[in-house]
Structure 1
Amino acid sequence: MIDLHCHILPGIDDGSKSLEMSLEMARMAVDDGITMIACTPHIYPGLYMNDTAGITAARDKLQREFDERGIPLQLTTGADVHLVPGLVDGLRSGIVPTLHRTRYLLLEPSHHVAPPHFQESVFRLVAEGYVPVITHPERLTWVEDHYPVFGELVKQGAWMQLTAASLSGVFGARAKYWSERFLDDGLTHILATDAHSNGRRSPVMSKAHAIAERMLGREEADLLVRGRQECMLRNVPPSAVPPLPAVEPRREGWWQRLFGASR
Structure 2
Amino acid sequence: MIDLHSHILPGLDDGSPSLAESLEMARLAVADGTTHMACTPHIVPGMYENGSANIARAVEGLEQALRRAAIPLALYVGADVHIAPDLPEQLALGSVPTLNRSRYFLFEPPHHVLPPRLEDLALRLINAGFIPILTHPERLTWIKANYDVVERLNAIGCLVQLTADSIVGAFGRTALYYSEKLIDEGRVDIIASDTHGATRRPPGLSQAVAVAAKRCGEDEARNMVLKRPGEIL
- What TM-score do you get using the length of structure 2 for normalisation? 0.99
Aligned to 2:71: 71
Aligned to 2:9: 9
2:107 alignment partner, SS class: strand
Partners of 2:169 and 2:20 in 1: how far apart? 27
Partners of 2:227 and 2:214 in 1: how far apart? 18
Partners of 1:222 and 1:189 in 2: how far apart? 10
The answer to whether residue 122 in structure 2 is matched with residue 122 in structure 1 is yes
Give identity over the alignment, percent: 50
2:44–2:82 CA contact under 8 A, matched in 1 = yes
The structure 1 segments of at least 4 consecutive aligned residues displaced by more than 4 Å after TM superposition are none
5+ residue gaps, structure 2, are none
User: Could you report, residue by residue, the CA deviation over 1:72-103 in whole angstroms, capped at 9, with x for unpaired residues?
Assistant: 00000100001112111111111000001000
User: Could you report, residue by residue, the CA deviation over 1:54-79 in whole angstroms, capped at 9, with x for unpaired residues?
Assistant: 00000000000001110000000100
Partners of 1:189 and 1:41 in 2: how far apart? 21
User: Could you report, residue by residue, the CA deviation over 1:144-200 in whole angstroms, capped at 9, with x for unpaired residues?
Assistant: 111122121111111010000000111111111111111011111100000000113
- What TM-score do you get using the length of structure 1 for normalisation? 0.88
1:28 alignment partner, SS class: helix
1:110 alignment partner, SS class: coil
Aligned to 1:244: none
Aligned to 1:23: 23
2:105–2:133 CA contact under 8 A, matched in 1 = yes
Partners of 2:159 and 2:120 in 1: how far apart? 15
- 1:189-208 paired onto structure 2 within 5 Å: 189-208=189-208
5+ residue gaps, structure 1, are 234-263
2:77–2:99 CA contact under 8 A, matched in 1 = yes
**Size of the alignment, in residue pairs?**
233
Aligned to 1:226: 226
Partners of 1:226 and 1:196 in 2: how far apart? 21
1:180 alignment partner, SS class: helix
Partners of 1:120 and 1:36 in 2: how far apart? 33
Tell me which amino acid in the other structure corresponds to 2:174.
R
Aligned to 1:242: none
Partners of 1:182 and 1:175 in 2: how far apart? 10
Partners of 1:90 and 1:39 in 2: how far apart? 19
Aligned to 1:250: none
Which range moves more in the overlay, 32-41 or 84-93? 84-93
1:170–1:200 CA contact under 8 A, matched in 2 = no
Aligned to 1:62: 62
The structure with the larger Rg is 1
